[in-house]
Amino acid sequence: MTAILLAEDDRELSQNMVEILELEGFNVTAVESAEAAIKASETQHFDIALMDLLMSGMTGVEAISNLRQKQPLIAVIIITAYATVDTAVDAMKKGADSVMTKPFKSDELIVTIRRSLAEKQLFKSRVDLDPDLVYGALANAYRRKALKVLAEHKTLKFMDLCRLVEIEDHTKFNFHLRQLKKAGLVTQNENKIYILTNTGQFVITSHNISQD
């Protein structure tokens, strides 16, 4: 049974969402803060987290990295009544799979959840991916930008890639590239030209990669 972690401090909305989700056959654990969600993730496995953006204490977006440290492949949907383009972009940069605006219809909620779960299942099915290595590689803005630049230019020499990523410390950038190679996202051809691997292409297209 799919396990859902719901963090929402509006008790009436939380209860309504729990009823909707349980009718669809989901197993729901509801909490009222991001901190409580993180604590729950330490002892229970969850397939997806529905996080209210603004709660007392930590925001839903701020909690994403903590949740992913415990459960790298958990899908995360941010829920907010104050959605703007900037809000959505920031949430995606921080690792959210989707952003939903309150109020929303029950069928919209279910469709968004099932889509996010399907995307994560596809990610899990890639036998050549090590989730911990991939998420570790994606945790750095320079590495995300390097992937995006390679996706745009296809092949690049080290110095050209360094220039486009806008990092002057070549030793530091070489370290970042080694992490991307270790995660199986980037490789070099026989001419030492950097290119994305098939796995890197897959991650780019399925994970809304962008740089800060």
Is 89:60 a contact under the CB 8 Å cutoff? no
Query: What pLDDT does 128 receive?
Result: 60
User: 150: domain CATH number?
Assistant: 1.10.10.10
Q: pLDDT for 35-52, tens place per residue?
A: 999 999 999 999 999 999
Examine the domain organization and report whether 63 and 113 are in the same domain. Answer: yes
Cα distances (angstroms) measured from residue 76 to each of 5, 47, 97: 9, 9, 5
Q: pLDDT for 95-148, tens place per residue?
A: 888 899 998 999 999 999 998 888 777 766 665 667 778 878 888 889 999 999
Domain count, the chain: 2
- Does residue 212 lie in a domain region? no
φ, ψ for residue 176, nearest 5 deg: -60, -40
Examine the domain organization and report whether 103 and 147 are in the same domain. Answer: no
Examine the domain organization and report whether 52 and 74 are in the same domain. Answer: yes
User: 75: domain CATH number?
Assistant: 3.40.50.2300
pTM for this structure? 0.62
Examine the domain organization and report whether 32 and 66 are in the same domain. Answer: yes
Examine the domain organization and report whether 139 and 179 are in the same domain. Answer: yes
Could you tell me the residue range of the domain that residue 67 belongs to?
3-125
Examine the domain organization and report whether 89 and 162 are in the same domain. Answer: no
